[in-house]
Amino acid sequence: MPEVRPKKHLGQHFLNDKRVAQRITESLRADGCDAVLEIGPGMGVLTFDLYQRFGSRLVAVEVDSESVSYLKRNLPDLKVVEADFLQVDVKELLKGQFAVIGNLPYNISSQIFFRVIEQRDFVPEVVAMVQREVAQRIAEKPGSRTYGILSVLLQAFYNIEYLFTVSEGCFTPPPKVKSAVIRLTRNSVNDLGCSYTLFERVVKAAFNQRRKTLRNSIRSAFNGIEISDKYGTKRAEQLSVDNFVELTLEVERLLG
């Protein structure tokens, strides 16, 4: 049994419901993965179950030194890297395909998902607990006001499942918002058929001025180019991933 957990810093919210923790860990399949990366294990509420399942395949990245010391004492064979995940060279840390799991810090969850997109060829699956509104946004379909940049960029390469909601009472201290667990499973798309860099620029330009029509938002972001009426009169939230690919190809042609 792990030793008594030390007191943690104020302002952090820790999952204290073992049944919820078990549901989260059981949601990760990691089929065919060479490794499993846990981001921000904290005091190990998911880690102990994950280690029982995956053993030496599990690698944990944690920025808090107190949590790192705790995990090393209680799981001495676990590979724990004391670092900020956003600063880690994942290609140096892990070889081959790896699944990602974690109770992600609310304030950097979007940045973590952008890193996942960068590593999409090596990450076939992600299970993450995030703020409920973020989970809903990622899983949202076109036509909704919550559909946004992350929705499009992640759905381009992953199938998104909203698994379940986690109430405030499952944390110590209780946060002011609900959380949710989502699963991302890599789809079969390897090449969008357009430049991904330009695709990302188009998507961000469209949603950064989402109240404008796409004609106006693309014009202001790309030196005054004029896109056709097919998408020019629409707004960003009306376009699917495939629509954005078509729009990107049009922008590419206009840019010459």
pLDDT tens track for 191-250: 999 999 999 999 999 999 888 999 999 999 999 999 999 999 999 999 999 999 999 999
Residue 15: pLDDT over 60? yes
For 9, residues 6+ apart whose C-beta sits below 8 A from its C-beta are none
The per-residue pLDDT of the chain, averaged, comes to 93
pLDDT score at 2: 54
Arithmetic mean of pLDDT, 34-55: 96
> Is the whole model's pTM more than 0.85, yes or no?
yes
CB 49 within 8 A of CB 21: yes
Give SS3 for 2.
coil
Looking at the chain, the whole-number percentage of residues with pLDDT higher than 90 is 89
Residue 74: pLDDT over 70? yes
Across 1-5, 20-24, 26-30, 166-170, least confident range: 1-5
Looking at the chain, the whole-number percentage of residues with pLDDT higher than 70 is 95
Task: Name the fold adopted by 14-186.
Answer: Rossmann fold (3.40.50)
pLDDT band at 12 (very low <50, low <70, confident <90, very high): low
pLDDT score at 115: 96
Q: Where do the structural domains in the chain lie, given as residue ranges?
A: 14-186, 196-255
pLDDT band at 3 (very low <50, low <70, confident <90, very high): very low
What architecture is domain 196-255? Orthogonal Bundle (1.10)
pLDDT tens track for 127-181: 999 999 999 999 999 999 999 999 999 999 999 999 999 999 999 889 889 999 9
> Cα separation of 142 and 111, whole Å?
22
pLDDT tens track for 86-132: 999 998 999 999 999 999 988 899 999 999 999 999 999 999 999 99
